[in-house]
Structure 1
Amino acid sequence: MPRTVVLLTVYRPQPELIDLAAHLRSDMPAGTRLVVVDDGNDTTGQKTFTAVRDLGATVLRHPANLGKGAALKTGFAHIRATHPDADVVCADADGQHHTTDIRRVADRIRPGHIVLGVRKLDRMPAASRLGNTVTGALFRAATGYPVDDTQTGLRGFSAGLLDWLCTVPGDGFDYEMNTLLDAASTGRPITTVDIATRYLDGNSASNFSGVTDSMRVYRPLLRYTAASLTGQIRRRRTPTAGPAPH
C-alpha cells in the first residue's frame, strides 16, 4: 500500500503538469501514487492528461467544471476507496510547488494532523502579500491559530482525515478556507512547513478569478469571525498551529 498519494486538481492544464508528474515519479519515495482530477476541461487538454496517465497517474474526470473544492472532494473520495491508509498531499498543478517541498510536507504528516506548506510573505507580489496578510490576521483573530498563508495550495492530510475532508462544505475556493475553519473549530492540529515562494509568469496560470473568488474565501471567514466574537463558536482545545517538529 502507498504511504502517500499526491492529489492534483486541474482546470485548463499547462505543460508544467507533465513535468510535475515526471518529477513526482522520480523524486518521491517508491510507491507514492498520483491522482489527478480533470475538472471539466475541453478536448484541447486531453493530450496533457494522456501524457500524465502514461506516467502512471490515475486521472479522474468531471464532465463539466465544478470548482476546486468539488474536484478535491472527488479526489479524496477516490483515495478513501482505493488507498484508505495513505496520507494525502494536495499541490497546485501549475508547477509552483517543487517536488522537494511536496516531499517535505508529506514527511511532516502525523496522525490526525493537517500540514500547510507556507510561503514567505515578503517574497510575494504586493497584491498577494496584502491579501494574505489581511486574511492571516483575520484567521488568527477568529481562531487563535497563527497561520500566515491560509491560501496555500500545498496541504498535507493524514489518512484518518479522509472521511472528514469529504464532508466539509464548499465546491470552489471557499472549500480550502472552510477546511481550515472547521479544523480550528474542532481542535484539529495544524502545523506549518516553510516552502519556496514561486509565481510563474506573473501567476498567469492561476484560475483564481479576482473579486468573485476572493468573496468566496472571505465570506466563510467573516461569518466565522462574527460567530466567534459573539461566542457562538467555542474552540474545543488549545490551538496547535505552528512550525512542524523536526
Structure 2
Amino acid sequence: MEPVVVLIPALNPLPTIIEFVEKLEKLAVEKIIIINDGSDEKYKKTFKTLHNNGHVVLTHEQNYGKGHSIKTGLRYLLNSPFHGKGIITVGAHGQHSVLDVEQMISSTKIFSDGIILGVREFKNSDYSVLHHLHNRANSMLFELFFHKRLLDIQTGLRYVPRQHLAWLHQVKGESFSFDTNMLVEAIRRKVQLYEVPIGHAKLRKNSVIYYDEVMHPAKISQQLWVNFRKNNGRS
C-alpha cells in the first residue's frame, strides 16, 4: 500500500501525543509532520521529544490557527521530496484513535480519487445532544447552500490526495474557517467527497476541543453563509 503523510496541527497538545505518534509511525505512513502553533512554553519538551524521535516539527512563534498550521505543513511538504499518495490531517488532543487513522488509510484504496472525511458518531455519549443537533443543522445548511449532503462538515480527520495539495494550500482561512472553505472549494472544483465512519477514540468527560474541531456552531453557520453569498456573486 502506498504510504500517506500525516499532518498534526498542535496547540498545547496532550502528553499522550508522543505515544500516539509512535503508534501512527507503524502504519502505512511515510512521514509525520507536527506543527506547533504557538503552544505555551511548558509544551516545549513535548515537541523536542517528537523532534528527537525523528519527526518533522514546524514551529509558529505565536498562535495563528489550525488552518494556518495545516497550510504551513503543506508548504513544507510541497517543497520537500515525498512519495506519499496524499495527506491525512489528525488532531493532537486524543479525539482520533490509531484505529481511526488506520481505517482512513485503508479507505484510500477504495476512494483514491477524492477527499475522504472521517465522520464522527454523534450518538456516542462523549458528544452532547446539543452538539449533535448543531452538527445536523450545519450539515443541512451545507446541503441547502452547496447541494452536497455531508454528515460531518466539522471533522478534523481528513484525507486529501496529493494531486489536490497544490490548490489546498491556497484555500483561505486561518482557523476553523479553513475546514469549511476547503469543502466548498472542493465542490467548486468538482472533487469527489467521501465519508467513512470513525469514532473509536473516547473524549474525556466534559472536554471540549476548540482548536482541532471547533465547537462554535454559530460561527460555522456564518461561514457557510459567507461562502454561499460569495459563490452566488453577492457582497
TM-score, normalisation: structure 2 = 0.87
Deviation (angstroms), 1:89: 0.3
Alignment of 1:175-186 (within 5 A): 175-186=178-189
| Aligned counterpart, 1:9 | 9
SS of structure 2 residue aligned to 1:82: coil
Would you tell me which structure has more helix in proportion to its own residues?
1
Do the aligned residues in 2 keep the contact of 1:18 with 1:52 (CA within 8 Å)? yes
Alignment of 1:39-188 (within 5 A): 39-86=37-84, 87-109=86-108, 110-123=111-124, 124-188=127-191
TM-score, normalisation: structure 1 = 0.84
Any idea what the Cα deviations from partners look like across 1:21-71, whole Å, max 9, x if unmatched?
A: 121123x02x52100000011321011111222332100000111111100
Give the letter for the 1:118 counterpart.
V
Query: Kindly tell me: are residues 160 and 96 of structure 1, through their superposed partners in 2, closer, same or farther at Cα, counting changes over 3 Å?
Result: same
Alignment gaps of 5+ in structure 2: none
Query: Kindly tell me: are residues 163 and 72 of structure 1, through their superposed partners in 2, closer, same or farther at Cα, counting changes over 3 Å?
Result: same
Matches of 1:35 and 1:70, distance apart in 2: 14
Do the aligned residues in 2 keep the contact of 1:84 with 1:159 (CA within 8 Å)? no
Kindly tell me the number of residue pairs found equivalent between the two proteins. 228
Query: Kindly tell me: are residues 10 and 44 of structure 1, through their superposed partners in 2, closer, same or farther at Cα, counting changes over 3 Å?
Result: same
Matches of 1:190 and 1:20, distance apart in 2: 27
Alignment gaps of 5+ in structure 1: 234-246
Do the aligned residues in 1 keep the contact of 2:68 with 2:173 (CA within 8 Å)? yes
| Aligned counterpart, 1:195 | 198
Matches of 2:233 and 2:82, distance apart in 1: 34
Any idea what the Cα deviations from partners look like across 1:84-140, whole Å, max 9, x if unmatched?
A: 542100011111111122122123235541000101232232122011111111111
Deviation (angstroms), 1:166: 0.9
Give the letter for the 1:138 counterpart.
L
Percentage of pairs with the same residue: 26
Deviation (angstroms), 1:177: 0.6
Do the aligned residues in 2 keep the contact of 1:136 with 1:148 (CA within 8 Å)? yes
Query: Kindly tell me: are residues 40 and 208 of structure 1, through their superposed partners in 2, closer, same or farther at Cα, counting changes over 3 Å?
Result: closer
Matches of 1:148 and 1:173, distance apart in 2: 17
Query: Kindly tell me: are residues 211 and 204 of structure 1, through their superposed partners in 2, closer, same or farther at Cα, counting changes over 3 Å?
Result: closer
Root-mean-square deviation (CA), in Å?
A: 2.5
Matches of 1:191 and 1:15, distance apart in 2: 32
Query: Kindly tell me: are residues 210 and 17 of structure 1, through their superposed partners in 2, closer, same or farther at Cα, counting changes over 3 Å?
Result: closer
Do the aligned residues in 2 keep the contact of 1:21 with 1:55 (CA within 8 Å)? no
Do the aligned residues in 1 keep the contact of 2:122 with 2:132 (CA within 8 Å)? yes
